[in-house]
Amino acid sequence: MASNSNTTQLEIDTSAHIDERGVEVSVYIGANSCEPSIETIFDFEKLIENHFEGYTIGDMIRPIDIPDAELLVIKLEQMAKYARNMLEDYWDMIPVEDRVEGEELIETIADPKPNSKYFA
């Protein structure tokens, strides 16, 4: 008995990037695809809320779960320091004569959601 099967290959590639909005995930479908077929941005606040919601029972996190939930906060603080140090290194590589007059690194934290009780 002869088989009439067809085989089709579909190339799928994904990538993730971060910027000031959050984590952007792109999915590319098809060989040599230059433009993403699907793009989704997960904002940082929602990701953090989801993290903590995973530890909640009712509206509370049990005391026994606080150290595990805090691991994310510790890592985010470390990554903020890492990013700041890396940016300062790049800034220091720019010759002073090539900098725009009055241009400096922004050291203050902008408040993207001023109504949120979690932003200082």
pLDDT one digit per residue (tens) for the chain, 120 residues: 666 788 888 899 999 999 999 999 999 998 888 899 999 999 999 999 999 999 999 999 999 999 999 999 999 999 999 999 999 899 889 898 888 877 777 765 555 555 566 655
Contacts of 13 (CB under 8 A, 6+ apart): 27, 28, 33
Q: What is the pTM of this model?
A: 0.71
Q: Is the dihedral of CA 52, 56, 60, 61 positive or negative?
A: negative
